[in-house]
Amino acid sequence: MTEHVLTAGTSGERADQFLSRSVEGLTRSAAQRLLEQGLVTSGGLPLKKKDRLTPGQVLVVALPDPEPLDARPEPIPLDIVYEDEDVVVVNKPVGMVVHPAAGHSSGTLVNALLYHCGKSLSGINGVLRPGIVHRIDRDTSGLLIVAKNDAAHVALARQLEDHSLSRTYEAIVVGGLREDSGTVDAPIARHPRERKRMAVVSGGKRAVTHWRVVERFSGHTWVECALETGRTHQIRVHMAHIGRPLLGDTVYGSKKPVPGLAGQCLHAARLRFVHPSTGVAMEVEAPLPSWFTDTVQRLRRL
């Protein structure tokens, strides 16, 4: 068990609402289960999910240890763009989850990497995320760099922090953009009410996305997005924030699926980093997938 001590700041807020808002990664239903199990107390007494909190009230939350998932090697084909004894760069297809989680215990990139690399993966992120330095969404395709030892993992993680590891994406957004380029500098945090979504939130973590127009269509725009920071769903949230959601993004844009797209029209196309052992600046690129180029051709005909 891991204990969290929280202090309520809003009068009259329900206990389950407060917990889901305050504990990162905790959904409203998960908060309710904790309350039902008596794992949330105040003054030594268990709280109920409908209990209303008072300002300054102290809550002790006992989070149970996560149940370990058994990540097994699976002979899943991988599109390897670059590999040596320290790193492997993979071009992930749309639909592949990066690491095992509830509802996705197999068929993930980690399962494939365990088969391909054997024991040659960094252990810093534990047994469920071996070698995983950064992630991309299930319905986003493109490049991921994976560390094959702990020293490489530490070096790459530092590059993520100081922004010397750069990631450039290709995307198609709904609507036109007046300027040829721009920057979205807006903080991102968990959505205050919908816990599975992120949002631009005052007080969230700083997030910066630089964008540049590649091609304009009737009603859509092809843009290149460079990440200065790497928040969850950053490009999707930022482009929706300026009124230009990604084509096919049913979470931050239209709920209606787009024919020919399995999700948002977003591809991690280029990755630049300093090799963790040699110190050589490297750049790798993944060509646009057919579903992206097919979408471009359809838009050109409109």
Dist CA 58 CA 53 (whole Å): 9
**Two tokens at 54?**
């008072």
Active site residue 137: yes
* Catalytic residue (choose from 16, 51, 86, 137): 137
For the chain, what's the residue count?
A: 302
Active-site amino acid positions: 137
